Amino acid sequence: MTTHLDEELLAQWALDRDTPDDAAADHLRLCARCRDSLRELRSIAGQVEDMPRMESAPEDVWDRISTELGFETGSLQPAPDLSTAGSTSRDRFELRRVGRPTRRMAAVAASVAAVVGIGLGVIGTLLATSNDSGPPTAEAVVRLEPLAGKSGDGNADLLQGTSGSQLKVTATGLVQTSGFYEVWLINEDGKRMVALGVLNPGTGGTFQIPADAAGQGYRIVDVSLEPNDGNPEHSHNSIIRGTLPS
């Protein structure tokens, strides 16, 4: 047979532990390629149920490597692997998806930085210091204000727990349209930004962030409306925004 089974269909059977219909079953009996493919997908569907959370090595591991190899320290600091920092929360901090910063994106971030420069958006207050045990403690509560011409607002609570820092984002008055809302942390340097994940405007969400993200300049909390266009970069359509205290 030359017409093979649709791969998405194979994936569906693997994920749902479904059995193929009669016609497909006939094909599978005859076609080793589709049979192998289904077997492989079933195996992976089983493995993804038991994946570890990604974790990052502590920062001093690089220092140890650098020292052991006699590198000039200081000139070669890889930024801590924030992409895998904190890995216990549902929405892990993730930065790898952000593409090469475009000139446009740099402009977005630069304009953000300028706005922040005049002090808009920071209503954060230190509420408590971090605690080594118990539930996460709130370190700061930041109001998220609508950008010009946009409506909605919200809060970003910076929480400190045993597993690292978390950002709890809630929003009100965000219009549900097509596409999805996404939470970003933008660096004050006007050059860098990172996507934290998808935000349900109705229920909010909690995102794991590295303990030192704000210290590294990632202080601007931004909620954008992203079209379903498959482009991972910031849509340039920010709706609400606030700034974490340094």
Q: Give residues in contact with other proteins (CB under 8 A).
A: 7-8, 11-12, 14-15, 40-41, 44-45, 47-58, 61-62, 64-65, 68-69, 71-72, 74-84, 90-92, 94-101, 176, 180, 182, 191-195, 197-198, 200-203, 226, 228, 230, 232
Q: Please report, for residues 149, 153, 173, the alpha-carbon distance to residue 145 in angstroms, rounded to integers and kept in the order given.
A: 11, 5, 11
Is the CB of 131 or the CB of 176 nearer to other proteins?
Answer: 176
Minimum distance, C-beta of residue 194 to other proteins, in the bound complex (Å): 5
Say what angle helices 32-47 and 7-16 make with each other, to 10 degrees: 40
Is the CB of 138 or the CB of 189 nearer to other proteins?
Answer: 189
Is the CB of 2 or the CB of 75 nearer to other proteins?
Answer: 75
Helix (H), strand (E) at residue 68: helix 60-68
DSSP state, residue 5: P
The pair of three-digit structure tokens given for residue 1, joined into one six-digit string: 């047979």
Minimum distance, C-beta of residue 209 to other proteins, in the bound complex (Å): 12
Minimum distance, C-beta of residue 1 to other proteins, in the bound complex (Å): 21
* Amino acid residing at 217: G
Report the distance separating Cα 85 and Cα 99, nearest Å.
19
Minimum distance, C-beta of residue 148 to other proteins, in the bound complex (Å): 25
Is the CB of 15 or the CB of 128 nearer to other proteins?
Answer: 15
Is the CB of 84 or the CB of 160 nearer to other proteins?
Answer: 84
What does R_g of the chain's alpha carbons equal in angstroms? 22
As a 3-state breakdown, the chain gives helix, strand, coil percent values, each rounded to 5, of: 25, 25, 50
